[in-house]
């Protein structure tokens, strides 16, 4: 089972596209990390995964919970 599933995640700040359609999945118990240069969108992606930022497009599911469309449980 996937603990995290991300599909087509996009984030704009004005006209600047900080995250460009990223998709990935993380299996339960798997170690996963983000690598990239400054400005690559690593922190923005984490902020969207945790609900701090809302993406402009895409889907985020954590343990089957739709982070963008479902209310708190």
Q: Say if 45 falls within a structural domain.
A: yes
Residue 48 belongs to domain with CATH number:
3.40.50.300
Q: Which residue has the higher pLDDT, 46 or 70?
A: 46
pLDDT digits (tens, 9 = 90+) for 1-22: 899 999 999 999 999 999 999 9
Q: How many domains does the chain have?
A: 1
Range of the domain at 37: 2-66
Pairing of strands 16-27, 57-62: unpaired
Nearest to 10 by CA among 23, 21, 2, 24: 21
Q: Say if 27 falls within a structural domain.
A: yes
Distance CA 34, CA 19 (A): 13
Confirm whether pTM is higher than 0.85: yes
Q: Say if 46 falls within a structural domain.
A: yes
Q: Say if 72 falls within a structural domain.
A: no
Token pair for 54: 């809302």
Q: Say if 17 falls within a structural domain.
A: yes
What is the pLDDT of the chain when averaged over all its residues?
94
Mean pLDDT to the nearest integer, 31-49:
95
Mean pLDDT to the nearest integer, 33-55:
95
Q: Say if 71 falls within a structural domain.
A: no
């Amino acid at each position: 089972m996937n603990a995290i599933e991300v599909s087509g995640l996009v984030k704009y700040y004005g006209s600047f596209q900080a995250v460009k359609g990223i998709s990935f999945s993380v299996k339960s118990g798997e170690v996963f990390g983000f690598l990239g240069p400054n400005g690559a969108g690593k922190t923005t992606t984490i902020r969207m995964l945790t609900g701090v930022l809302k993406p402009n497009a895409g889907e985020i599911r954590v343990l089957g919970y739709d982070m963008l469309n479902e209310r708190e449980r």
